[in-house]
Amino acid sequence: MPDPAEQVVMLRSRVGERQRELEAAVHDLKLAARRMVGPAEWVRENPLAFLGGALVFGWWLEGRGRRHARRVR
């Protein structure tokens, strides 16, 4: 069994390794968070694509509403 001084050195070494791993993981998370694009930012960058999608979605909803109105009558 190692003496207490050696145990302290080993524990400090392990703590240092874990701290470096944690710092690397935090760095990776920060990079991933920066790469994520929020919906508002995407709309600002692609207004025509958003407008086209909104129009298609509106036409689709309108068609569903007309079919439903025909079934109700």
Q: 54: burial class by Cβ within 10 Å (0-12, 13-18, 19+)?
A: exposed
Calculate mean pLDDT across residues 2-27.
94
Residues 21-38, mean pLDDT to the nearest whole number: 88
Q: Per-residue pLDDT for 4 more than 70?
A: yes
Q: Where are the domains of the chain?
A: 1-36, 38-73
* pLDDT, tens digit, 9 for 90 and up, residues 44-57: 888 999 999 999 99
Residue pair 43/50 in contact (Cβ under 8 Å)? The answer is: yes
pLDDT of the residue at 41: 81
> Is residue 61 classed as helix, strand or coil in its secondary structure?
helix
* Mean pLDDT, range 39-67, rounded to an integer: 87
Q: What's the confidence (pLDDT) of residue 69?
A: 63
> Model pTM?
0.47
